[in-house]
Amino acid sequence: MTSLREKYEAATRELRAPFAMVDLAAFRANAADLTRRAHGKPVRIASKSVRSRALLRTALALPGYAGIMAFTLPEALWLAEGDSEGPLDDDILVAYPTVDREALTRLAGDPAAARAITVMVDDTAHLDMISAAVADATASGTRGAGAPPVRVCLDIDTSWQPLGSRARIGAFRSPVRTPEQAAALARAVVGRPGLELAGIMAYEGQIAGVGDAPPGRPLYARVLRAVQRRSAIELARRRAAVVRAVGAVADLRFVNGGGTGSLHTTGREKAVTELAAGSGLFHPRLFDHYRAFRGRPAALFALPVVRRPAPGVVTALGGGYPASGPVDPHRAPTPHLPEGLSYTANEGAGEVQTPLVGAAADGLAVGDRVWMRHAKAGELCERFDTLHLIDSDTGEYVGAVPTYRGEGRTFL
């Protein structure tokens, strides 16, 4: 039987490494698993985890997917504007607040964009900026009398605080935590001309983004699972109360929750109308250690072997592509194929070259390739301008598509 590595090598033999690759068979399998765990609720695709318009279109065409979760407003405007095939989607939620007044003014003055895009808020300061942008667009004449309102979404804090603010488990995101705080902000939105309250988002990063089966740490894993279980129970109750409180102020188009690691639990909440996921499509290394699912690595990058400095050692060109987050060994890329390679203790993944050690090194010659996995998903696309598409089911090279960077766009 032909191995996965042999299929990748055969399909890409004409390509010059380093290059990035997406296995479409693995991409499709991961997409199907995400929707299976979503309990029938639509999955909004987190664009930051994909960062390729072509692959976003591919995912949106699959059953169970609806809408995009963008990471900046300029990106959302670009996606809404579209390409030769038209807009990427007509339902784009910007997942993080923006203070880009120019982009907000563009949004307020573009009826098509305003109908497609929802921006995130968690502070009246955000509302002030949006209102100022509406006024600017009106004064410049780009926003007419019948222009659609700028749609906003309330971001709700999801951290678990069993001892109050003294013990916080979860990300520092929104200051809006209680139903009362959410309702107050909702009233501030509906009281502003030119604004419309569209939805609520509550992303439980301490559950969705933290694997509950860390290898070699059984005691920590038990504690982590207990914390995540209690956090999920508390959040489900509080999220439902927030939805009721805000729903008394305005009708909501959507309530967004979840992430790749928590679809199977968040999808059961009646208050949640849609889920969000993106990393699970590529299944990067940080998502290897969850009990509820097993994804297939879909996004890889190939490095050429350029030296054999000693027995059991090869040196690859490039590879120093760390992921964002805490500075620790888990953020480095991982040697994937051939199996049995690891970093040296003193060098790690290098800026220009990366030494790799292990028994598999003796089977590699100068000019051979090492296949690597990034720790996170879309950040890989900030290193490469092209994604080469391979179908491991057929062993065929399918083609190449640009990343955001390949289209000259770097939003962060």
Q: What is d(CA 100, CA 408) in angstroms, rounded to the nearest whole number?
A: 20
Q: What is the pLDDT of residue 243?
A: 98
Q: What is d(CA 98, CA 111) in angstroms, rounded to the nearest whole number?
A: 19
Comparison of pLDDT for 42 and 162, the residue scoring more: 42
> pLDDT > 90: what percent of the chain?
86
Q: Which two tokens stand for residue 9?
A: 């090598």
255 pLDDT more than 90: yes
53 pLDDT more than 80: yes
Cβ atoms of residues 190 and 174 within 8 Å:
no
327 pLDDT more than 80: no
pTM of the full structure: 0.94
335 pLDDT more than 90: yes
263 pLDDT more than 80: yes
State pLDDT tens for residues 153-198. Answer: 999 999 989 888 788 888 899 999 999 999 999 999 999 999 999 9
Q: Based on the number of CB atoms within 10 Å of its own CB, is 411 exposed (0-12), middle (13-18) or buried (19 or more)?
A: middle
Q: What is d(CA 159, CA 156) in angstroms, rounded to the nearest whole number?
A: 9
Q: Which amino acid is at 401?
A: V
Mean pLDDT of 135-156: 95
Q: Which two tokens stand for residue 149?
A: 């309102």
SS3 content of the chain, % helix, strand, coil (to 5): 35, 25, 40
How do beta strands 117-121 and 92-97 pair? parallel
Q: Among all chains, which residue has been given the structure tokens 């399998």?
A: 29
